[in-house]
Amino acid sequence: MRTYLDVTRGFYVELMASLGLIAACGGTSGETTMASEPASTSSTGAETSGLTTGATDDSGEVTSTTEGATSTTTTTGDATTAAPGTSTTTASSITGEESTSTGDTTGEASGTTTTSTSTTTTTGEPGTTGDTSEFTCEPPPPGMMQKYVCFPVPDGLDDCAACDAACSQSWANAAATGDPFCSYTDLIVQCGPDPMPAAPEQCCYFIAHGDGMVCEGRPFVVEGAGRVAPTLRRSDWQGQTLPSLAGLDDPTRAALADLWGASAADEHASVASFARFALQLLAVGAPASLVDGAQRAMADEIAHARACYTLAGAYAGCPMGPGRLDMSSALGDTDLPALAAAAVREGCVGETLAALVAQVAAFQTADYAVRGVLKQIAVDEGRHAQLAWRFVQWALGRSPAVHEAVREAFAAALREPLGARAWAADADPEQLRAHGRLLPDEQVALCRDALVGVIGPAADALLGRAQQAAAA
């Protein structure tokens, strides 16, 4: 069976070839026909180069175990070893500095121990994982919810007090969601760190957040908030491919119904996202090939949504489908730098990670129907990711202002901490794996390697080529 390192390496070569930055040789072997200079090795062990030439190099020694709780990586460059269940991201020349983040992926929220307040009071709830009664905070703003979240002291910092506003905002967001593909679009760090944290030796804060989230795949973001349709009981989004329910107990079936239902809602929202993208491409005078790609992606996402709703309905024991999706103010900004930055976040990063997660999940899935769905999603999302990268490549050649917007968007993505949504405690983990869900630690390891071994080097190459073209 191919490992996730094989997958990330193959994806990198295919992506770089699609952008014309390397000439692929031998399919997804990871080799190129270009002469390569000595390459910097990814700190995550993905055997890919961070050079702006896009050449690959096999100089890194890699030891990686994703099963269970161990994930260790050793490189010949700047060595970084990831402890069990941690997330480490090293930014490349996009930011000009090294940025490392670490978080435990066990518990309710990855990288965190999370204690939710059940009301908008400011005293927490003593007697859960710790007594927070001495740590008070103002009630959340109207329309927002309050939560007490914790995360480990980020690597490189002496203590929680050294985590500034940007640091606490980023880590608190990851702590609140517990998902590498999701973040709250409306989140305020209200107060902290707690001098007597509920989780020993962690940084704990009160946050306020709305209910808008940006999730896996290409999200549908309107005015800074992610939108998905509610899930209803309806049969007209159901397909014919059904999973086997043999050996699944009730808690595991319920967990699978929830997980696949959430994926279905994300895929359904992606239809709207690509419909809007097609209109935005027309507004900025994009070439026909990009507009055609957006239209085809809409059809793909409809098929993905139907497949995921079908799986969710089968596990739930009743048909499932989407309700109405709010389309008010949906067109958004048609300014080219803003569109390019959004394409980086939603496509170059979000869909690249979604494609790789689906591909690796397909390899480990035992159920025939689920494996077929994941294989098709992986292929399609990979093509959608390439579409986003090609649009950004085109935009970089149209306006000097795009370059800085794109660079900042990639740098922000590489700084983000990673986590994974914890599985339901009463569900059978082996059955969840067999039905298409990756282990939380495995998701973190895969996404970490994809950020540093695929997205970072590809962004360097893309920006470097654009800079060379501008100087010529």
pLDDT of 73 above 70 = no
Q: What is the pLDDT of residue 115?
A: 36
- Measure Cα distances from 184 to 203, 225, 277 in Å: 19, 8, 22
The pLDDT confidence band at residue 70, using thresholds 50, 70 and 90, is very low
Lowest mean pLDDT among 3-7, 176-180, 353-357: 176-180
Give percent of the chain above pLDDT 90: 36
The pLDDT confidence band at residue 3, using thresholds 50, 70 and 90, is low
Average pLDDT score over residue span 153-159: 83
Which tens digits make up the pLDDT trace of 7-33? 788 888 888 888 888 754 433 333 333
Cα–Cα distance, 159 to 162 (Å, whole number): 6
Strands 183-184 and 213-214: antiparallel
Q: What is the pLDDT of residue 114?
A: 36
Average pLDDT score over residue span 156-165: 86
The pLDDT confidence band at residue 160, using thresholds 50, 70 and 90, is very high
Q: Which residue has the higher pLDDT, 178 or 128?
A: 178
Lowest mean pLDDT among 126-135, 219-228, 282-291, 353-362: 126-135
Which tens digits make up the pLDDT trace of 373-396? 999 998 899 999 999 999 999 999
Which tens digits make up the pLDDT trace of 84-123? 333 333 334 454 433 333 333 333 333 333 333 333 333 3
* Residue-averaged pLDDT of the chain: 74
The pLDDT confidence band at residue 250, using thresholds 50, 70 and 90, is very high
Average pLDDT score over residue span 299-324: 94
Read off the pTM: 0.62
Q: What are phi and psi of 32, to 5 degrees?
A: -130, 165
Q: Phi-psi bin for 112: left (phi > 0), alpha (psi -120 to 50), beta? A: beta
Domain range summary for the chain, segments of one domain joined by +: 1-103, 112-211, 217-438
* Of residues 446, 222, 292, 243, the one with CA closest to residue 354: 446
